[in-house]
Amino acid sequence: MILVTGATGNIGSVLVRQLAERGLPVRALTRDARRAVVPSGVDLVEGDLGRPESLSPAWEGVDSLFLLQTGDEDTAAVLRSAGRAGVERVVMVSSLLAEIHPESPIGGGALRGEQTVRDSGMSWTILRPGEFASNALWWARAIREHGVVSAAGGDAGSPVIDPADIAAVAGRVLTERDHEERTYPLTGPAEITPRERVHSIGRVLGRDLVFEELSVEEERERLKQFMPEEVADSLVDIDSDADRGPGVRTTVEDLTGGAPRTFEQWVAEHADSFR
């Protein structure tokens, strides 16, 4: 049995569906089973990663774990609980920032999570995705209501990745044997700037959308409404660095045999969120 955490999220919902379609035994973890929607045949269980004692029902019969870091948990405690219950393998989502900006709060946190997984005594694989295509959902309301997206770093490209590709890689890694003790950086197929992303959404919707460049200071103030100040500061520095280029990695294609999906493909599948 494979336990998928984050099963209602961008990666996990696709992973659950893909594993179920392959006929593999899969269980989806959520904090609220009344809200969660999973394909028929998928076992749905409630638990909170921030309370490892709540996870006992989730571990029953599980040998492999797909693990997100939600920010609520003590990863070491979660893995101890999993190990005691007989879980043998963990595939964890980290972040490409662990490689390209290990000094940043998010990169540093991701590295600490990775070390916990490496020290867990389980068989492990770490996935380090770059920026998600689905982060464009943060713009959905502004696009629906005004057709204007305001952000800084409009010309700083990033090879955003479709979470479905992260799920495809995870599906392979969870069910094949030769990925143990590997750390895989994952990106989309090409660098695309925020300005180009907004125009791409406009093309799919058939609307003229406007990208409005914010100053670094304005962006910092905006982000501070949603996150701690030091995280906002560091994200603004990373996001507005036009030369940061994490670079396109070939790992998705190497591991799945298929080219990673473009940003515009992701938009086409999620167009209703912007209408």
Ligand X SMILES: NC(=O)c1ccc[n+]([C@@H]2O[C@H](COP(=O)([O-])OP(=O)(O)OC[C@H]3O[C@@H](n4cnc5c(N)ncnc54)[C@H](OP(=O)(O)O)[C@@H]3O)[C@@H](O)[C@H]2O)c1
Asked if 151 interacts with ligand X (CB under 6 A), we say: no
Asked if 8 interacts with ligand X (CB under 6 A), we say: yes
Among 44, 70, 77, 147, binds ligand X (CB under 6 A): 70
Judged by CB under 6 A, the number of residues near ligand X is 27
Among 163, 189, 194, 260, binds ligand X (CB under 6 A): 163
Among 64, 75, 81, 95, binds ligand X (CB under 6 A): 95
Among 42, 68, 143, 232, binds ligand X (CB under 6 A): 68
| Type and span of the H or E element at 44 | strand 43-46
Q: Which is nearer to ligand X, 46 or 210 (CB)?
A: 46
Q: Which of 27-35, 114-122, 149-157, 173-181 is the region at the interface with ligand X (rule: CB under 6 A)?
A: 27-35
Among 50, 105, 108, 147, binds ligand X (CB under 6 A): 50
Q: Which of 76-84, 131-139, 189-197, 220-228 is the region at the interface with ligand X (rule: CB under 6 A)?
A: 131-139
Alpha-carbon span 126 to 112, nearest angstrom: 12
Asked if 194 interacts with ligand X (CB under 6 A), we say: no
Asked if 69 interacts with ligand X (CB under 6 A), we say: yes
Shortest distance in whole angstroms from residue 95 CB to ligand X: 4
Q: Which is nearer to ligand X, 34 or 177 (CB)?
A: 34
Query: Is the separation of the CB atoms in 38 and 16 below 8 Å?
Result: yes
Dihedrals phi, psi of 154, to nearest 5 degrees: -60, -20
Shortest distance in whole angstroms from residue 49 CB to ligand X: 4
Tokens of 110: 């991701």
Q: Which is nearer to ligand X, 106 or 210 (CB)?
A: 106
Neighbour-count burial for 134-173, b at 16+ CB within 10 Å, e otherwise: bebeebbebbeeeeebbbbbbebbbbbbbbbbbbbbbbbb
Asked if 202 interacts with ligand X (CB under 6 A), we say: no
Alpha-carbon span 215 to 151, nearest angstrom: 8
Alpha-carbon span 256 to 50, nearest angstrom: 32
Q: Which is nearer to ligand X, 23 or 40 (CB)?
A: 40
Q: Which is nearer to ligand X, 95 or 240 (CB)?
A: 95
Shortest distance in whole angstroms from residue 72 CB to ligand X: 4
3-state secondary structure 7-35: CCCHHHHHHHHHHHHCCCCEEEEECCCCC
Alpha-carbon span 36 to 168, nearest angstrom: 21
Asked if 30 interacts with ligand X (CB under 6 A), we say: yes
Beta bridge partners of 27: 3, 43
Asked if 104 interacts with ligand X (CB under 6 A), we say: no
Alpha-helical segments (H) within the chain: 10-21, 56-59, 75-84, 97-100, 105-118, 140-145, 163-175, 194-205, 216-224, 229-239, 251-256, 263-269
The angle formed by the CA atoms of residues 54, 5 and 132, to the nearest 5 degrees, is 145
Please give the residue ranges that form the binding site for ligand X (CB under 6 A).
5-12, 29-32, 36, 48-50, 68-70, 72, 93, 95, 129, 131-132, 135, 163
